[in-house]
Amino acid sequence: MPFTIVRQDITRINAHAIVNAANTDLKMGGGVCGSIFKAAGAEQLQDACNKLAPINLGDAVITPGFNLPAKYVIHAAGPVYKPWNKKESERLLRAAYTNALIRAVENSCESIAFPLISSGIYGYPKEEALKVASSAIKDFLTDHELDVTLAVFDKKAFAVSRKLLGEVECFIDEHYVGSRKRSRRQLLYVERQIILESEEPSWKQEPQLCGGMSAELLASNSIDNLIGKLDEPFSEMLLRLIDAKGMTDVDVYKRANLSRKLFSKIRTGKGYMPGKRTVIALAVALKLSVEETDSLLKRAGYALSHAVIFDVIVEYFILHGQYDIFKINEVLFAYDQPLLGA
């Protein structure tokens, strides 16, 4: 961990390994493949590839990085997209990511950078290619410790679900206050809903579940009890929250897209206070409600604001019970916002 997305030329990334979207003959091609060969030294990289070629679709092999900042190049053969056989295309593309990750672990790599495989001349629809990449990487990281980067050269090579982006855009239009100054804090969406519901007859109100917690747990734990006292160390409060949610430390730092090293630093305390984005990542991992998230942030000296587009996007996902941090980061990336975790 973690998994992040950057807009950068993959040949300039200082990872232990970078991935080449290769053809099965491992020959120098165009696009990302051509750029990697040129940056590594085309002749010497081709000589190394010739000793390993050919490979099957979905397979991956490893060579030295030669003149690249990366120590290794992992050559993963993605499929040409076949719309009449989407299942097979997805299986092969997923295998290319998984096998590349396996090669990285086998060679003791701690970090790896991918392009969006098969999304160029191989014709894989970018939105679907991103979905397969995110899913394969996320599943692999469940059982492995590895820093993974998805390198996107420009926004044309990156596409998030148009439906999701449309919904987020509508939410932003309704809630983002931009640069307008306000004399007092604007009510969060969830707070306005509570006020509106309090004006309805009690028989019309339904019990609300918060972040996946049971009604019984909510009944016995107010937000203040759940989050804790103001003078309680953040690390102690975090451990209590993890127990209350029935999670493990590993569950939380992986769901928060944090490295084990950073999580250990937070967990042990010793005066360390995580930054706002890290606190929000932990809130997402713990499946806290907006109200709970706001309370957790206050304990660390932060707050959600409708004057900050990053906060509004995060609030959209939490309000809709969508706690997949990788999906949240895809939308944040699309809006040129910093990512959670990482």
For position 100, which CATH number holds?
A: 3.40.220.10
State whether 177 and 302 are in the same domain.
yes
pLDDT at residue 213, as a whole number: 43
Indicate if 269 and 120 belong to the same structural domain: no
- Residues 49 and 100 both lie in one domain: yes
| Boundary residue ending a domain (157, 187, 213) | 157
DSSP reduced 3-state for 132: helix
**What is each CA distance from 86 to 40, 56, 79, 104, in whole angstroms?**
34, 18, 11, 27
| 60 plus 115 within the same structural domain | yes
Helix, coil or strand: residue 179: coil
Q: Which domain holds residue 251?
A: 162-334
Q: Report how far residue 267's alpha carbon sits from residue 270's, in angstroms, rounded to the nearest whole number.
A: 9
- Please tell me whether residues 111 and 146 are part of one structural domain: yes
Is 288 a member of any domain? yes
Q: Please give the pLDDT value at position 8.
A: 87
Give 20's strand partners: 75
Residue 91, in any domain of the structure: yes
What confidence score (pLDDT) does residue 214 get? 45
Question: Which residue has 């990289």 as its token pair?
Answer: 45
Q: How far apart are CA 283 and CA 121, in angstroms?
A: 40
Pairing of strands 3-7, 111-114: unpaired
The answer to whether residue 341 sits within a structural domain is no
- At residue 282, φ and ψ (nearest 5 deg) are -65, -40
| DSSP line for 217-251 | HHHH--HHHHH--TTS-HHHHHHHHHHHTT--HHH
> Is 215 found in the same domain as 82?
no
Q: Are residues 190 and 253 in the same domain?
A: yes
For position 98, what pLDDT does the model report?
98
Q: State the total domains in the chain.
A: 2
pLDDT at site 208: 39
Q: Which residues contact 54 (CB under 8 A, 6 or more apart)?
A: 24, 25, 26
Does residue 182 belong to any structural domain of this protein? yes
Beta strands in the chain (DSSP E): 3-7, 17-22, 60-64, 72-77, 111-114, 147-152
Does residue 120 sit in the same domain as residue 191? no
Residues 6 or more apart whose CB falls under 8 angstroms from that of 144 comprise 101, 105
Q: Pick from 157, 178, 202: which residue ends a domain?
A: 157
Q: Which of 287, 301, 294 is nearest to 241 (CA)?
A: 287
Domain limit, last residue, from 157, 184, 208: 157
Phi (first) and psi of residue 59, to 5 degrees: -85, 170
To which residue do tokens 């769901």 refer? 255
**Pairwise CA distance, residues 160 & 236, whole Å:** 37
Q: Please give the pLDDT value at position 180.
A: 45
Whole-number Cα distances in Å, 177 to 193, 240, 307: 18, 35, 5
Could you read off the pLDDT tens digit of each residue along the chain, which spans 342 residues? 588 888 889 999 999 999 999 999 999 998 889 999 999 999 999 999 999 999 999 999 999 999 999 999 999 999 999 999 999 999 999 999 999 999 999 999 999 999 999 988 899 998 899 899 999 999 999 999 999 999 886 665 566 767 787 888 888 888 887 644 443 445 554 544 544 444 444 333 343 344 444 444 444 455 556 655 556 778 888 888 999 999 999 999 999 999 888 898 888 876 778 899 999 999 999 999 999 999 889 888 899 999 999 999 999 999 999 999 999 998 999 888 999 986
Give 72's strand partners. 17, 64
| 12 in any annotated domain | yes
